[in-house]
Structure 1
Amino acid sequence: MNIYILLTIILLVLMLLNVYIGKANFFLLSINAVFSLFMGLRSVTVGSDTLLYKEIYNSMASNPLSSPLFWKFPIYNVYSYIIARVFNSFQAELIINAIIINTIVLFFIKKHSPNIFLSVFLYYTLYFFFTGFNISRQCLALGFCLLFLHFLIEKKVIKALMCLIIAFGIHTTAIVTLLFIPLIYIHWTKRNFLITITGIAAMSIFSSKFISLFMSLFSEYNIYANGASTTLSAQNEGNRVFLSLFYVSLIVISFIYSPKNIKLENVSEERAKYIQKYYLFLVLSSLGTMISLIFNRDILILRIESYFSIFLIILLPYTMKEISRKSGAIQEFMIKNSICILTLVPFFVQLGKNIGGILPYMFFWQ
């Protein structure tokens, strides 16, 4: 665990260093290099699914079209085949995966977070960074889903659809992010937020039918129906309940300090966009938290949850900004630092329980 403590210190030092340098791009480039190298240079024993991805890589390297896996996730398999042809090294795939995942996440943070440093800190302490050690194929898909949402917000529909197609070709669970489309066009208020969340919660009654339909369309996920897979096993023992309750408390704080219900035509265009994005990230984060809390023992649903809970790293900086506007900088400083300290508790608890199989950390040459 000592190496993860060192990584935490490096992150804090880079954040403090930026106070004197004052250049966010330098911080993002530095932390991207650190995160990507740390994730990419790991041994195949680090991460519960890493050995599985090595088997996929070996299958694609020889004759991809003859592999039974090819049409299950074609874009990822073509990607693995190209890496095998060019580099002839699975370690190269791990490094490239790490660069893609972290670069996209940090790009999304730069474009949409009002506090880049807080978002990066939360990306790390809320364990989203370490998810890439385990389910890296899905994290690649998640990255392109972030780009999908980014281009939807920017009203660049063609680019958005291209990113969604890539994400779906990497991991079929990415299809759930089609939900981003209607959410983008809702006129958000506190009332509409509560109606939406209540409606989604009511739909959970029919979750078994949705799961059955999904598994009938994508038979490779039938292994989750009978618990045959151990993927995410540590998260599937009820440990997620306590983490989800912590997330719920963050959602409640964000809702309490959410912008008032005002007519968007009565505010500036910049403020109107800000309000819409605040509620969009609040809804997406709430959805992820609801899924994690209600279906904490369902591995397949927990895979879907990650497409939504990731937005907590964007929502909380928005919340801190609203607290500063409404209650002043002192209260915002106190709450922000309290949340940062509190996130270290579930972080080290998950690390101590070896969630994702990331202990002990070893470099590939060890």
Structure 2
Amino acid sequence: MLIYFILTIAMLYCLFLSRITIINDAIGDRNEGFLFKNNGVLLIWYMILLFLAAFKGAEVGVDYPMYISFFMHKTYIGLLEPGISYIYHLADKYNSFYVFSTIIYSLFLLFIFYAVKKNTPNYLISIFLFIIMHIYFNSFNQVRQLVAVSIIFCFAHLVSSEKRLDRLKYIFVILIAMLFHDSAIFMFVLIVIPRKQWSPKLVIPLFFVTIVLYFLPSVKNSIGELLISIAGSYGEKYASGYVFFGVNKEKGFIQLIPVMIQMIIVSIALYIPKFNEHLNINYKLYIFSMNAVIINLWLYALAGIEAIDRLQIYFSCFNIYFYAYLIHHLLNKKKLLDQLFVFLIIAFWILYYVLRLLINVHGIVPYSFLI
């Protein structure tokens, strides 16, 4: 577990060492601070995270031995998505599983880091969020799906756009993502997510409904049956194990507490006035990401259904955009309450990060190098 703490401490150290860039706006009546866009630092962290993921031991991650078994017994042929199968073929050609793991994690991190570079005002804060929110560690298990998730995340600005051509481009993005995991087909739903901020009068009551439904497994199972009927080939793939679409994991009140805290943070954010237009923020993407985060929190009403948990992985990735923009906005307001709110947000996610490591939800503790 020590390596995970060293990772976050190193990131925090980089944050403190980073030079704060101040940019004067065109009018000259406001400065924008807390910008950090250094491609060299981005490359260093890319290589660090790639090394830790690609060369981890076989037992680091509950699902990871399955991917090694696919390679050893060549059971990937005709079973996995075309993009994954092709990478396995390359690994088989060079007779090394590390060819597969290096290519897979290179792609995953490439799309995540490109999205960070293109869309966020502070690279270090975004990468820090990527780590402490366990999005990075999800890839230690859901290897195939996280490549698809990173592709969707990277091009989310297309679906947040109001241009029809961008929407058409996004459909092509989904097709590419499906080469790595069939679940990407569900991301057509992003097209219908509103691009205007939802009212707290809608969001907060539905948060309360989410909390109630969280404790009603009969409702969850009924929705699971509905998912089977509309999931198409994805549903057929997992039809033999009904538990994939039914409640198969008991989640109690303790697991709900972090979700409720996130609901409180988002509810407060809904009342924050529109950002200063001179800030280095894609406001449309911020609103879209906030709505995606809200949907992710609503989906906890169906917590315990494996299919929903897999769907949430796509939505949870939008936390990076949402919190990166929110923190940047609050830091630039330079008011005590805003700074305190930033501190509480970061403190919560660090605590949640540590607790998930202690519980070992991903099966990634202890960490080991090489097979």
Q: TM-score, normalised by structure 1?
A: 0.81
Superposed CA offset, 1:17-68 (max 9, x none): 33389652122111111111111110111011111112223454x8x6xx45
1:170 aligns with 2:180: yes
2:51 alignment partner in structure 1: 37
- Deviation of 1:214 after TM superposition, in Å, equals 4.1
Identify if the C-alpha distance between structure 1 residues 51 and 228 changes in structure 2 by more than 3 Å, giving closer, same or farther. Answer: farther
**Higher mean Cα deviation, 138-147 or 210-219?**
210-219
Superposed CA offset, 1:304-341 (max 9, x none): 0111111111111222344356x544433322222212
How much identity, in percent, do the aligned residues show? 19
Superposed CA offset, 1:134-175 (max 9, x none): 111110110111234234456545653332112112111111
Q: TM-score, normalised by structure 2?
A: 0.80
1:145 aligns with 2:152: yes
Identify if the C-alpha distance between structure 1 residues 303 and 164 changes in structure 2 by more than 3 Å, giving closer, same or farther. Answer: same
Equivalent residue in structure 1 for 2:63, among 49, 68, 78: 49
Secondary structure of the residue aligned to 1:344 is helix
- The answer to whether the Cα contact below 8 Å between 1:134 and 1:356 also exists between their aligned partners in 2 is yes
Whichever residue aligns with residue 13 of structure 2, its letter is: V
1:263 alignment partner in structure 2: none
- Deviation of 1:224 after TM superposition, in Å, equals 4.7
Q: Distance in 2 between matches of 1:83 and 1:159?
A: 31
**Higher mean Cα deviation, 8-17 or 220-229?**
220-229
1:352 alignment partner in structure 2: 358
In structure 2, stretches of 5+ residues that fail to align are: 22-35, 211-218
Whichever residue aligns with residue 319 of structure 1, its letter is: L
Secondary structure of the residue aligned to 1:134 is coil
1:283 alignment partner in structure 2: 291
Whichever residue aligns with residue 327 of structure 2, its letter is: M
Whichever residue aligns with residue 356 of structure 1, its letter is: H
1:248 alignment partner in structure 2: 263
- The answer to whether the Cα contact below 8 Å between 1:18 and 1:27 also exists between their aligned partners in 2 is no
Equivalent residue in structure 2 for 1:225, among 242, 245, 254: 242
1:112 alignment partner in structure 2: 119
Q: How does 1:119-198 map to 2 (within 5 A)?
A: 119-153=126-160, 156=166, 159-183=169-193, 186-191=194-199, 194=202
Q: Distance in 2 between matches of 1:228 and 1:52?
A: 21
Secondary structure of the residue aligned to 2:270 is helix
- The answer to whether the Cα contact below 8 Å between 1:46 and 1:133 also exists between their aligned partners in 2 is yes
- The answer to whether the Cα contact below 8 Å between 1:241 and 1:296 also exists between their aligned partners in 2 is no
2:96 alignment partner in structure 1: 89
Q: Distance in 2 between matches of 1:187 and 1:161?
A: 17
Q: Distance in 1 between matches of 2:273 and 2:317?
A: 19
- The answer to whether the Cα contact below 8 Å between 1:108 and 1:150 also exists between their aligned partners in 2 is no
1:69 aligns with 2:79: yes
Whichever residue aligns with residue 110 of structure 1, its letter is: K
2:216 alignment partner in structure 1: none
Q: Which has the higher helix share?
A: 1
- The answer to whether the Cα contact below 8 Å between 2:195 and 2:284 also exists between their aligned partners in 1 is yes
Identify if the C-alpha distance between structure 1 residues 191 and 2 changes in structure 2 by more than 3 Å, giving closer, same or farther. Answer: closer
Identify if the C-alpha distance between structure 1 residues 330 and 156 changes in structure 2 by more than 3 Å, giving closer, same or farther. Answer: same
2:42 alignment partner in structure 1: 28
- The answer to whether the Cα contact below 8 Å between 1:193 and 1:279 also exists between their aligned partners in 2 is no
- The answer to whether the Cα contact below 8 Å between 1:18 and 1:24 also exists between their aligned partners in 2 is no
- The answer to whether the Cα contact below 8 Å between 1:32 and 1:106 also exists between their aligned partners in 2 is yes
Q: Distance in 1 between matches of 2:18 and 2:169?
A: 33
**Higher mean Cα deviation, 240-249 or 307-316?**
240-249
Secondary structure of the residue aligned to 2:239 is helix
- Deviation of 1:3 after TM superposition, in Å, equals 1.6
Total equivalences in the alignment: 342
- Deviation of 1:275 after TM superposition, in Å, equals 3.5
In structure 1, stretches of 5+ residues that fail to align are: 261-266
